[in-house]
Chain A
Amino acid sequence: MMLNKEEIKKIIPYDDPFLWVDEVESITEDTIIGYKQTSPEDDFFKGHFVDFPIMPGVLVIEGVAQTATILLRKKMGDGHKKKLLLAYKVRSANFDKPIFPGAKIQYKAKLLGFYAYKVANFIGEVFVDGDKKCEVRFTIAVVDKEEFKAKRNQKDTKAEPKYELPALKIGNILAKIPIIQGGMAIRVSLHNLAGHVAKEGGIGIIAISGMSDPEEVKSEIRKAREIAGPKGVIGINIMGVIAGFIPLVKAAIEEKVDLIIQGAGFREDIFEMGGKANIPIFSMASSVKVAKKGEKMGASAIIIEGEDAGGHLGFPKGHPFRKTIDIVKDVVKEVKTPIIAAGGVFNGQDIVEMLRAGAKGVQMATRFVTTEECDVHRNFKEFYIKSKKEDGVIVHSPVGLPGRVIRNSLVERITKGNPPKPDPKKCQGCIGMTCDKSYCILDTLEMARKGDVENGLVFAGSNFWRIKEIVTVKELLKELVDEANKILKDKPLLKYD
């Protein structure tokens, strides 16, 4: 015997009179064998049936499913105590022969697939003395206890009108101000910016796309935490097309980052990595279709990014540009996952508009570039301030997406079809096969962030020209919150829950 009844009770939250497995014989990577000894004296036999006692079929399914949860909890590791394992679906059940009082029931459960640590499919077989009695296919759902409780409480209370900017609560994340500072690669948003945003009550995001050393990721997160303090929320942002995706994400997970934002190339594997470590994944989407995909995969929030965002835009060839608010309005109709609005959000009024449209918060990046704390070169910040509205243009990026930038000598060369040719010897293969090699995105972004705003590529959101000065993160956040609160004081948010 591998586990006795007492040991089983320590793993799964069941007890008499509803523990239907009292012995586990073996557990492998995806199978488990357990037993339940019945007795003719068992209560339920008296009523099932009065004149012909046999084991109720539903209890047989319960028994094999309870056995399956032992295997699942073993697989989930330490975090499993924070989760509820619930019956989600019985896909099919065949009861070939009855089980009589006194039988020792053998359960064999085989795990077919465990997706994003949220949904597990099993086949169960039930035997008595080697004779097959039942075959059942079922699905178990894994739910976070805290989230489940929070949702339950929420339904009991009606949403109160909000006269102030509400805090952003998603799963275990709590940010006083519902503003996520957008991750800006390459190395534009690092520990200093992210740390200060988090310190002031927003969510600070370190962009790790373009990094190649996992140690750099770890050290940035650590330094940001030092600035942000224990309550500060620090996340990372990474593009899906990055060649070193897995090691970089792993480093962030090891450093216990609070959330991971993933965009530019939908990755399914991120949800399993996040699920395993209990770190929420925020998916980027620019269409209802991708938003739904994120929800299906188990994203904790979906960031909807519209056409006014800076840098790479999620509208590849053949997909017309759309305003953020229009996409948000469409997405909230079809997606239950919390929505964050991004792209073109400039002031407090924009924030309130997005919340009224159904978003739970906003992501802003361009405005954070022109803060004292932003990790980019001063030339870059000043370039935003001195450039004019008509300098904002769209160029083709070798990633295969359009990019919103500020016009300079490099942009002229790109639009004329004469960009600096990439040097194959220096190519790090940063985005692997996705790259069309028309020019080097890594080099040009690095040049700009180091201060060469003529030969480097300067990403910027469409509202950059409205910025007049460089301020501190604290000043910027205060301005945004004050603007929003002034509006909400007269006209509160009615539907924010």
Chain B
Amino acid sequence: MTKLNITEILGIKYPIIQGGMAGVSESILVSAVSNAGGLGIIGSGFFPPSWLEKEIRKTKELTDKPFGVNLLMQNPNIPELLKIIIKEKVPIVSTGGGNPLPLFPHLKKAGIKIIPVVALPRLAKKMEESGADAIVVEGLESGGHIGKVTTFALVSQTKNKLKKIPLIAAGGIYDGRTAASMLVLGADGVQIGTRFMASTECQIHDKYKQAIIDANCEDIVVVARFTNYPVRVIKNKLAEEILELEKNNPFPEEINSERFAGSKVAAGNIENAPLLCGLCAEGISDIKSCKEIIEDIVRDTKKILLEASKRYE
């Protein structure tokens, strides 16, 4: 079977996907990314069905381009969320945080494209065999809940295991250079999270955006490893408290993982909220529109790949 192109499958202009971020990617950001030629994805996290229904409808008002919904498999309301997605005819669903296979027959039947997000080559292969339309491998450079393998290791090794579906790289990608490197490693497209948080359209608090811009590599830490759901965040008072707690060998129950699923910092309470953020923050120095972000990446990627190829002539 001939291999399909990711842009054809999803009906988008550029192979750039905005990662579904609970509490961060809602209708305004999602529609801005989709309008700019990428794929915006609503992060439904632990939100109730009513929230998702509202955001889908708002997104539809703001864009006529394809967009997606990310489902966090730990959400107890998955059946209701699924019903809404089918009823609202959302064209694409990405999944994370658990086994999405039970959803496959329902999504297939409704003609919805499935993009599972996984953190191991083995799982990527399994998803392809089970009927996924594309796959995101997310390396531990990403923000929020992370796996154990780097993007570098994941992309090349997964590429060798996939037969036909496109591979999307995620974790640490924020500009033309990082995007180009993923294409070289074997990715067909990229998924980007943190860079889109520092966009004019993202609805997180300005102080959160500023924290991303200010953060250097050493300011980004991983907390809650003991829960088996480690989370990458910007170091603040909350993160320091958790790191202190970790010295005492706490029980996993001592941290409520739901608390980390959404990071809309209410009233800019920047010290006591989890500031989910990827390792790429040091490379982000300004707030741009989603259109600028996407066009800069597309332009620079082409330029870099061209220049690099010349070096070996």
Contact = CB atoms under 8 A, between A and B. Distances in A.
Interface of A: 91-92, 94, 112-113, 121, 123, 135, 137, 318, 432-434, 436
B253 A92 contact: no
Nearest to A122: B251
Given A432-B79, A433-B79, A433-B106, A94 B248 contact: yes
Interface residues of B, number: 12
Contacts of B253: 112-113, 121
A494 to B, nearest CB: 42
Contacts of B129: 318
Given A433-B106, A434-B102, A92 B249 contact: yes
Interface in B63-82: 79, 82
Contacts of B251: 91, 112-113, 121, 123, 137
B79 A135 contact: no
A436 B104 CA distance: 10
A254 to B, nearest CB: 26
B248 A135 contact: yes
Contact of A137 (B79, B105, B250): B250
Q: Which 5 A-B pairs have the closest CB atoms?
A: A112-B253, A92-B249, A113-B253, A92-B248, A121-B251
Contacts of B105: 436
24 contacts: A91-B250, A91-B251, A92-B248, A92-B249, A94-B248, A112-B251, A112-B253, A113-B251, A113-B253, A121-B251, A121-B253, A123-B251, A135-B248, A137-B248, A137-B249, A137-B251, A318-B129, A432-B79, A433-B79, A433-B82, A433-B102, A433-B106, A434-B102, A436-B105
A121 B251 CA distance: 8
Nearest to A316: B101
Interface in B235-275: 248-251, 253-254
B102 A91 contact: no
Nearest to A113: B253
Contacts, number: 29
Interface string B181-210: 000000000000000000000000000000
Given A433-B82, A436-B105, 19 more contacts: A91-B251, A92-B248, A92-B249, A92-B250, A94-B248, A112-B253, A112-B254, A113-B251, A121-B251, A121-B253, A135-B248, A137-B248, A137-B249, A137-B250, A137-B251, A318-B129, A432-B79, A433-B79, A433-B102
A94 B245 CA distance: 12
B88 to A, nearest CB: 18
Nearest to A432: B79
Chain B CB within 10 Å, residue with most, of A91, A94, A113, A433 = A433
Contacts of A94: 248
A168 to B, nearest CB: 35
A91 B248 CA distance: 8
Nearest to A137: B251
A71 to B, nearest CB: 16
Nearest to A138: B251
A320 to B, nearest CB: 15
A137 B245 CA distance: 12
Of the listed residues B106, B251, B253, the one surrounded by the most CB atoms of chain A closer than 10 A to its CB is B251
Contacts of A92: 248-250
Interface in B52-102: 79, 82, 102
Nearest to A433: B79
Interface in B95-133: 102, 105-106, 129
B49 to A, nearest CB: 15
Nearest to A436: B105
A291 to B, nearest CB: 19
B187 to A, nearest CB: 27
B247 to A, nearest CB: 9
Interface string B296-313: 000000000000000000
A108 to B, nearest CB: 15
B160 to A, nearest CB: 21
Contacts of A91: 249-251
A432 B79 CA distance: 9
A59 to B, nearest CB: 21
A20 to B, nearest CB: 23
Given A92-B248, A436-B105, A123 B254 contact: yes
A402 to B, nearest CB: 16
A92 B246 CA distance: 11
Contacts of A112: 251, 253-254
A121 to B, nearest CB: 5
A113 B251 CA distance: 10
Contacts of B248: 92, 94, 135, 137
Contacts of B82: 433
A137 B226 CA distance: 14
A254 B250 CA distance: 38
A232 B299 CA distance: 78
Interface in B122-159: 129
A284 to B, nearest CB: 19
Nearest to B253: A112
Contacts of A433: 79, 82, 102, 106
A135 B82 CA distance: 44
Interface string B211-246: 000000000000000000000000000000000000
A125 to B, nearest CB: 12
A137 B254 CA distance: 11
A113 B253 CA distance: 7
